[in-house]
Amino acid sequence: MASDREQVDTVLDVLHLNMETLKDIQGRLHDNMVRGLSKASNPSAVVKMFPTYVRRLPNGSEQGDFFALDLGGSNFRVLLVRLSGDNVEMKSKVYKIATEIMTGTGEQLFDYIAECLAEFKREQGLEDKDLPLGFTFSFPCRQNGLTSASLVTWTKGFSASGVVGEDVAVLLSEACQRKKVNLKIVAVANDTTGTLMACAITDKNCYVGLIIGTGTNACYMESLDEVELWNGDRDEPKQTIVNMEWGAFGDDGALDDIRTDFDKAVDGVTLNKGKQLYEKMISGMYLGEISRQAILALAAKKLIFNGVVPPELQKPWSFESKYLTDIEKDNSTDGGAIKELLTQLNCPSTPHDIATIRAICSAVSTRAAKLVTAGLAAVIKKTGKRTLTVGVDGSLYKFHPRFHSLMETFTRELVPEARVKYMLSEDGSGKGAAMIAAVSG
C-alpha cells in the first residue's frame, strides 16, 4: 500500500505542469495575443491587448514636477514627483478607501479621491499650483487615447456603480471641478505600464512590464504595424506599449484542461465567477484559497490533520496567501515557524502535518511561477528581442522567497535563446505614472 507521503503526492500531482505543457500554454497565449491585436477577432478575444498610447520610453532628459495618483486597490496614493534626468524625488501619502465607498456610487468614489487630492495639495503648499497629473488606474480599461480610458470591468472587490463603460479621466476631472481642485490629467495608464516605465529609467533594455501581486498583468512594447486597433498618428516612434490584460487568458475555455478541482472551487467563491481564470491560478489574491482547497481534499482522505479541519480553516479565504509565503520562508528542519502558524490556526502540527503543508504550498506556488513564466515566454518571443529586461512589481514577487529564482529557471528552459533579466520595479505606479506624464508632455 502507498505510504501517506505518496498518497499526498498523488493528490497534489494535478498541480504539476511539465515542460511540454508549459510550451503548449505559451503557444496558446501567443495565439490569444494575435487574436487580441487583430481588428477582426478582437471583439471576441479574451486577452484584449489594449494599446496604451504610451510610445516613448524615458531617455534621461525628463524634467519637472508632477502629481501622480495611484488607484488599484483598497488603498490609493497621491504623490508629488520631481524629475531631474535619472534623479527622482517623491513625496506621497496613502489614503484608505472604505468598503462602502468601493461598493457605493462612482460619484462618491471620485469625490472622495478629489477630496484627498485637495488635502495633499494643501499639505504640500501647492493649492494654487496646476501641475500635470499622471493617473495610474489599475483595473481593466480600454484606452481611447493617452488621457482617456474607459473601465471594462471592476476587479479586486470594487463595484462602484456608474463607472463601467465610462471614461475614468472624465469622472476624476468632474469630481475635481465639484471639489474645486485644480488639476490637469495628462496621462492615464495602469500599474503594469507604470512598472515598465519606472524600470526603463535605469535600464534601456526594459521592454516588458509585469505585475504579480494581488492580481497579475503584463505589457510590452509592440510595433504599430502589429496593432490593428491603433487609431492614432503613424509618426515616429512607430510603437506603443500594449496592455495585455492577460488575467483573462482562459476565460474562453483555453485552460480548462489544466484547471483543477481546487481552481474550480476557488472560482466558485469569487465575485467574478468564470472570469480572470489565468489570474486565479497565479496571483496573491487566490493562492491561499487554492492551498486551503488542497488542505480540504487531503483532510477528506485523512492525509492531514487526522482528517479534521478546524473551524478556523472551514471558511473560504481563511488560509491567507501570506501564510503560504511564510511557510515557504521556513526552511528549518523542524519547521518551527510553520508549527507556530498551525497552532495559531488550531491545527495539529505533527511532523507529517508540517511536511504536508509544506508540500501543498510548494506545489501551489511552483505552479503559479511556471504559469507566469509560460505567459512571459510568449511575450518575450513576440518582442523578437534576444536581450531584454522585464520590469516586475507586486507583493507576491517581492515577498515570496522562491518566486524570482523559479521564474529565472523556467525562463531559461522555455526561452533558451534569449538573455532575460528580471528587475524589481521601485514604485512603478507612482514614479512610472509621473514618467508617463513627462514623456507625454
For the record, the C-alpha cell of 233 comes out as 498618428
Distance of alpha carbon 209 from alpha carbon 152, whole angstroms: 21
Distances (CA, A) of 79 to 33, 75, 135, 430, 431: 34, 13, 10, 7, 9
Task: Give the end-to-end CA distance of the chain in Å, rounded to a whole number.
Answer: 70
> Annotated catalytic residue: which of 167, 191, 263, 427?
191
Distance of alpha carbon 186 from alpha carbon 64, whole angstroms: 14
Determine contact, residues 151/168, Cβ cutoff 8 Å.
Answer: yes
Residue 264 neighbours by CB under 8 Å, 6+ apart:
none
The reply to whether 41 belongs to the active site is no
> Annotated catalytic residue: which of 28, 138, 292, 365?
138
Residue type for position 205: N
Phi, psi of 142 (to 5 degrees): -95, 115
Determine contact, residues 265/293, Cβ cutoff 8 Å.
Answer: yes
Residue 62 neighbours by CB under 8 Å, 6+ apart:
83, 85, 435, 438, 439
Distance of alpha carbon 152 from alpha carbon 165, whole angstroms: 6
| Percent of the chain as helix, strand, coil, to the nearest 5 | 45, 20, 35
The reply to whether 74 belongs to the active site is no
> Annotated catalytic residue: which of 77, 259, 292, 367?
77
Determine contact, residues 214/285, Cβ cutoff 8 Å.
Answer: yes
Identify the residue whose cell numbers are 479565504: 317
Q: Nearest to residue 218, comparing CAs of 206, 236, 203, 231?
A: 206
Distance of alpha carbon 271 from alpha carbon 288, whole angstroms: 16
Distance of alpha carbon 389 from alpha carbon 357, whole angstroms: 35
The reply to whether 365 belongs to the active site is no
What is the sign, positive or negative, of the torsion defined by CA atoms of 253, 255, 257, 260?
A: negative
Distance of alpha carbon 310 from alpha carbon 361, whole angstroms: 18
CA geometry: angle 50, 429, 79, nearest 5 deg: 135
From the CB of residue 10, how many other CB atoms can be counted at a distance below 10 Å?
A: 12
Q: Nearest to residue 330, comparing CAs of 340, 321, 344, 320?
A: 340
Which residues are part of the catalytic machinery? Answer: 77, 138, 191
